[in-house]
Structures are given as structure tokens and as C-alpha cells.
Amino acid sequence: MIRRLPTEPIDRRRLIVGAGATLGGFALQSCATTRLASRALDPGCTLHPVYVAPDRVIRAVAGLRPYREAGFVVRAEALGGKRLVHNYGHGGAGITLSWGSSMLATRLGLPGHQGAVAVMGAGVMGLTTARLVQEAGFSVTIYTKALPPDTTSNIAGGQISPFGHYRDSMVTPEWRAQFAAAMDYSWRRFQIMVGEDYGIRWLTTYTEGDGPDPSDPFQRYHPAARRLDSAEHPFPVDNLSRFDTMYVETGRFLRQLTRDVHLAGGAIRVREFATPADIATLPETLVFNGTGLGAGALFGDAGIRPIRGQLAILLPQPEVDYAFTGEAGYMFPRADGVVLGGTFERDEWDATPQPEDISRIVASHRRLFQGFRCTPT
């Protein structure tokens, strides 16, 4: 397998290891960055380095992933005279599993139902559930505390590859089958949405670690995978592999899904639910719960916990047409900026980017790309 899918939260310091400089400490290296930016690549080096410097950071963000050791929840229960279908707890795989998990939820809730449908939450789970409900011929209203761009889903790198969403020892064979079904549907659904309107494109990803494992059942989601020798890439790292996958510009994707809901006749209402009794007052008899981290307090799920992820977004660099994951963190190029990430912080409830951590993320990627083995011309 190329990119090991972690079954336990990763310590954030491992992902930004060796990058102890603060933002102020970059001044001594500014000349090196200027030289790097001004040099053309030699004909044998087709990958453009990312220009990483503090003055290229256009924003820093932090989001709280809704992590459950026992994996995401898709199940139904009665709530008074209503049917409530849960769809939450996807950790760092929310964008990746969105269509598939919502497909499982709608298949559980829609058969035999008549009338309008309610969806709780306007993040990626709520929006994809609402669209599938509409595609099945039902009218839908989304009830949400926050609207994009103020949802956790907006603060995501957008790589279509499942990551950091369960603990291996805590999941059942039945849940693994559910995960496989969700991943399969999402993989196919995202493929037919590739294009500028939804902000989805294919990119080659370079990743540190072991090469492809043919016995891994999820290897098919890493097509064109192979291990590289040092002459095939410019990265200053050992044990590098590559594969192809899709990437989502999350802001554009969520905006388009919101438009799709409206165009299909759906409504969105800003409303917060303090208790399940509040849900019972809704006029709809079928309710889908896509409240993410909020489901813990609302429904008493003690197994859900926050994992904070922090991102530094650099000025866009259109010529960068590949992604990277490794010890330095991860780099995903998007039209709205180059995303640098690398923290996975357990039980952090403060959704505020921390300057020290953002500095480390920037520093680790700066070191990586200054070490590109390309001969200037």
C-alpha cells in the first residue's frame, strides 16, 4: 500500500517533525527562496517546486474533524413519530466518503417513506444527503446551525483518499463492509463530477513510505501506483512512491452543491437544535442527521471526539500540478491556494489556528522544496 491509512490518530509533532523554526526565523533563508523562484527547471525535471515563504501565506485555518474510534455512524432509530437516520463521525475522511456514506443513509431511510424530508447540517454530509434525497424524487429542507463557508467541511484539504477516521481494533467486519461500500460509491460519484464547476480534478500524488501493496483491497483507489527510484523524482526523501487520485477544491464544491439543492427546489433554514426534543417539532417525519461533531452532545455519543487539523494556505501557483504527502506534512495545490497541512491533534476543541504550529507547517514544507534536486538552467 502506498499511503498507509492510519487506524489511530497521528501525533501532530510527527507530521511536522524537524521544522522548529518560527515565522520570524525565516529571514535568513529569504535569499534562497528568491533564487529558487527565479530559476527555470531543467528539461529533465518536470515538477515545479512550491515557493514556500511566510509572506506567501494568504490565510491560516483550523478545523475540528469528528473522529470516532469505532468508525462513522450510519443507522436509524425512532424519535417519537419520526424516523431518524444518523450519518456522522467521519474523521479525516468526510469529503472522501461523503457521497457513499450519504448513499447508505438514504437507502436506509427512504424506502417506504412518503412526504418531505429534513436534513440536519449543511456540511458535506448534509448537502450530499440532500442531493440524493432530491434525486430520489423527494422534497427536502436542510436545517443547519452554520452555512458554508463556516462549516468544518470547508476546512479540508480535499484529497479523495480515506484518512484518519477509525481505530483498527475498534471496528467490526460489518462496519468494514459498510466502509467499503461507501468508498466504492464515492469513488465512482466523484469521477463523474470532475471539472471546473465542482472543482474536482485528478492529480499525481507523491508520497513517502512503502510502495504499493497488491494485497490491499483499497489499492484500486490509488491507480497508476508504483515505487520510484531516486532518478525518477526531485524530492529530497527516501522511499518515495506515486499514485493518482482526485482532489476537491472544497469551497467551490460546497458552493455548487448548495446551488444544486436550491435549483432542485430545496430550502435551507438556519436553526440550531439543543435536544432531540427540538427535532421532534419538525414537520417532516423523516430526518437525516449530518451534524458531524455536534452529534456527540446532541445525541449523547461519548465516542465522538475532535481532531484538530491546521492548514497554511499559500498564494496560488498554477504550474504546480502534483500533490505530496510525507514527513513534511502534505501539499495539495488548488485554484484557491496551495494547501499545506500536517497536524492531527487529539481532543483539541479550539478551532483557532495556532501561530507556532502554522510556522512549523510552513518551515517543514520550505525545507522540503528547497531540497528539490533539479539542476537550474
Domains plus CATH for the chain?
12-66+202-247+307-370 (3.30.9.10), 70-199+249-302 (3.40.50.720)
115-to-103, 141, 344 alpha-carbon distances in Å: 19, 12, 42
pTM of the predicted model as reported, rounded to 2 decimal places: 0.88
Q: What is the pLDDT of residue 268?
A: 97
Query: Position of cell 457521497?
Result: 99
Quick one: pLDDT at residue 44? Answer: 57
Per-residue model confidence (pLDDT) at position 221: 93
- CA distances (Å), 303 to each of 70, 71, 212, 293, 343, in order? 8, 9, 33, 10, 21
What whole-number distance in Å separates Cα of residue 165 and Cα of residue 345? 13
Predicted pLDDT of residue 146 = 85
Other C-beta atoms lying within 10 Å of the C-beta of residue 32? 13
Residue 7: per-residue pLDDT: 42
Is there a contact between 344 and 164 (Cβ–Cβ < 8 Å)?
A: yes
pLDDT values of the chain reduced to their tens digit, one per residue, 377 residues: 333 344 444 443 334 333 333 333 333 333 333 334 333 444 557 899 999 999 999 999 999 999 999 999 999 999 999 999 999 999 999 999 999 999 999 999 999 999 999 999 999 999 999 999 999 999 999 999 988 877 878 888 899 998 889 999 999 999 999 999 999 999 999 999 999 999 999 999 999 988 788 888 888 999 999 999 988 899 999 899 999 999 999 999 999 999 999 999 999 999 999 999 999 999 999 999 999 999 999 999 999 999 999 999 999 999 999 999 999 999 999 999 999 998 999 999 999 999 999 999 999 999 999 999 875 34
Let me know: does 128 contact 248? Beta carbons within 8 Å: no
Please report the pLDDT score of residue 126 as a whole number. Answer: 97
At residue 339, the pLDDT reads 97
